[in-house]
A and B are shown apart, each in its own frame.
Chain A
Amino acid sequence: MVSMSGEGPDHTLILRPNLSLSWRQAKVFLVVVALVLVSLASGFAAAGLWPVLPLAGAEWLALATALYLVQRRGHRTEVVSVRGGRVAVEKGSGPSRAARWDFPRGWVRVRLQRPRVRGHPSRLVLTMHGEEVALGEFLAEDERRQAAELLRRTLVRPSPAAAHGP
């Protein structure tokens, strides 16, 4: 998902991977599964067959962990902010995991590399003096092309009339 915001020379580009389930929906799903498991396991426990209860609990934990990991991976975000003469790139899926790069705006180049093998994904990088920051590895091909185009427009041709979104 590619989204762009900003007025005049200042712009912010936000990149996110495809994720078809929101965290809210994930929580609802986990609660529903928990209700089902608890109701049937406690039914058995009431009949004296309590060993079902811990097993159901362990299984729910495994499901919740799996869903959490995939959700965390799907909530990776990359933010490119263009402010005055600087370009800042932030990557992370939460404040604690954030990584940050900072470049002078005039020296940054946007490159969209074709894949070495046909059918494989292309690669979008910001480069400056041999330092590279890859962006949008999780995007769809046309989304990456769109992101590259948006970045080029704001960086390479620093026109105040840069397009707002696609």
Chain B
Amino acid sequence: MSAATTHDAHHDDHHHHGPDPGVLRWVFTTNHKDIGTLYLVFSFLMLLLGGVLALGIRAELWSPGLQFVDPDFFNQLTTMHALIMVFGAIMPATVGFANWMIPMMIGAPDMALPRMNNWSFWLLPFAFALLLATFFMEGGAPAAGWTLYPPLVLQGGANLPFAIFAIHLMGISSVMGSINIIVTILNMRAPGMTLLKMPLFVWTWLITAFLLVAAMPVFAGAVTMLLTDKFFGTSFFSAAGGGDPVLFQHIFWFFGHPEVYIMILPSFGIVSQVLPTFSRKPLFGYESMVYATASIAFLSFIVWAHHMFTVGMPLAGELFFMYTTMLIAVPTGVKVFNWAATMWRGSLTFETPMLYAIAFVILFTIGGFSGLMLAIVPSDFQYHDTYFVVAHFHYVLVTGALFGIFAGVFYWLPKWTGNMYDERLGKWHFWLSTIFVNILFFPQHFLGLAGMPRRIPDYAVQFADWNMVSSIGGFGFGLTQLLFAWIVLKCCRGGKQATSEVWDGSDGLEWTLPSPAPYHTFETPPAVR
């Protein structure tokens, strides 16, 4: 198999400079740049789709009473919004970056297993077609929340097996993707590129891939057991049959907490590339960044039960998970301090990627603060399952993971397309996004503290005002993303020619390549000094 692959690649080299023309190029491509593009385009489409569902939620929550949807459909909206955003938007976007950048950053010609790479992408459209098809089934889409807690999820109608099969496909796709990334990073680094010389983005993805490998079988097992509980008479999670519904929460969050870091670590990596470039100063504390990332990954496996402090754990359990959770603040703090120290006494300029990276550090840290507050069990009993939690994880995932992705897109877009994007529009996108996202999510802290539970379609009138503010922010943030699509399209079609270095403070192998990066790069490994 491997011999055939290299032979084909060799064969192509002598006839084409670029890719095959036509649509089939995208279907059969094994080129890491093509597959990276596919992932990124797919994830943007999913971002828009998940965003539309979110706007459905925000429209219904504009004012108390039911105006647009019935409560059951509202639950379908929240469930599908989360599943699509987590598995369809954020994760594939970061895999897209990995595909594009990791081979270029470590000096490899392509991913180690290009044909498996093709397969891991092309599973995704089918998985999501299956998941979205449940909207049109009798009983509608899954409505038990993305956390799929039994017994509620088992009350679902025809959608359950389809949703679970879709989740299995997504899981297989991301496991194959991470195996490919691990194998690529370990085997295909250019001579001289030792592990501790790798760019931090490569490091964060290596650790992310390892988290995926460790967490995915657990999740796959959990949803499989839901399926057998529903259709094959087992009772893993049914108290009536001797099982335990809380056990599902344990196994789900054993996967779910590493999943949080699977979504955020690649953005940590992107920001760690962007900040030094625009500070014109090397990354502060490279090695401690690597160790901090590794410790965050390790800790992510022993904190899972902080998602479920209210299930009635013994006191000792609550204390253990409180302490370990608080401990995560230490390596996370190290990262934030290192980023701040990278900027310190630099020579800062504020192009769009830098603006996004700075906003990432500040707003992600705010999400980290609310995370620290949530770790304190006595007050978590009040915060749990309220909009305070919703605000917390949206600060971490939207102004964290998604802003990191935006920073990365604007940072590397000139390298991908060979053209500079429109800086003026980029700044507009940044300011509109940042202002609206705070109008959207900051008031949700207040709502949660004032006592509004999450996942409700309708609320008491004292929550009306902040909900409306939040909805205004939601529509503003949603519409702003159309501007993003326009900026990227405009950049693909033309613009000021980009140089190889693109940014005057750029450093790393990818900037030694011409812009746009040639279809085949580093057919032979470059030397790293």
Contacts and interface: CB of A to CB of B under 8 A. Distances in A.
- Chains A and B touch each other in the complex, with CB atoms below 8 Å apart: yes
Contact of B224 (A26, A37, A51, A66): A51
Nearest to A74: B187
Interface in A35-85: 36-37, 40-41, 44, 47-49, 51-53, 55-56, 58-59, 62-63, 66-67, 69-74
B94 interface: no
A4 B10 CA distance: 26
B116 A51 contact: no
Contacts, number: 128
Nearest to A1: B191
A70 B113 contact: yes
B176 to A, nearest CB: 7
Contacts of A62: 175-176, 179
B524 A121 contact: yes
Interface residues of B, number: 50
B520 interface: yes
Contacts of A36: 214
Nearest to B1: A69
A56 B217 contact: yes
Interface string A101-138: 00000000000000111011100000000000000011
Interface string B215-229: 011101110110010
Contacts of B190: 18, 20
B6 interface: yes
A63 B182 contact: yes
B187 A19 contact: yes
A37 B193 contact: no
Contact of B247 (A19, A47, A56, A66): A47
B394 interface: no
Contact of A18 (B13, B216, B525): B525
Contacts of B220: 52, 55
B379 interface: no
B127 to A, nearest CB: 17
21 contacts: A18-B188, A19-B188, A20-B188, A20-B193, A25-B186, A26-B187, A37-B214, A40-B254, A44-B221, A44-B251, A49-B221, A55-B217, A55-B224, A59-B213, A62-B175, A66-B179, A69-B113, A70-B113, A116-B14, A139-B524, A140-B527
Interface of A: 18-21, 25-26, 29, 33, 36-37, 40-41, 44, 47-49, 51-53, 55-56, 58-59, 62-63, 66-67, 69-74, 115-117, 119-121, 137-144
Given A51-B221, A52-B218, 20 more contacts: A19-B188, A20-B190, A21-B186, A25-B186, A40-B254, A48-B236, A48-B243, A49-B221, A53-B221, A55-B221, A56-B217, A56-B221, A62-B176, A66-B179, A66-B180, A67-B183, A117-B17, A137-B6, A140-B524, A141-B524
Interface of B: 1-3, 6, 10, 13-14, 17, 112-113, 116, 175-176, 179-180, 182-183, 186-191, 193, 210, 213-214, 216-218, 220-222, 224-225, 228, 236, 243, 247, 250-251, 254, 301, 518, 520, 523-527
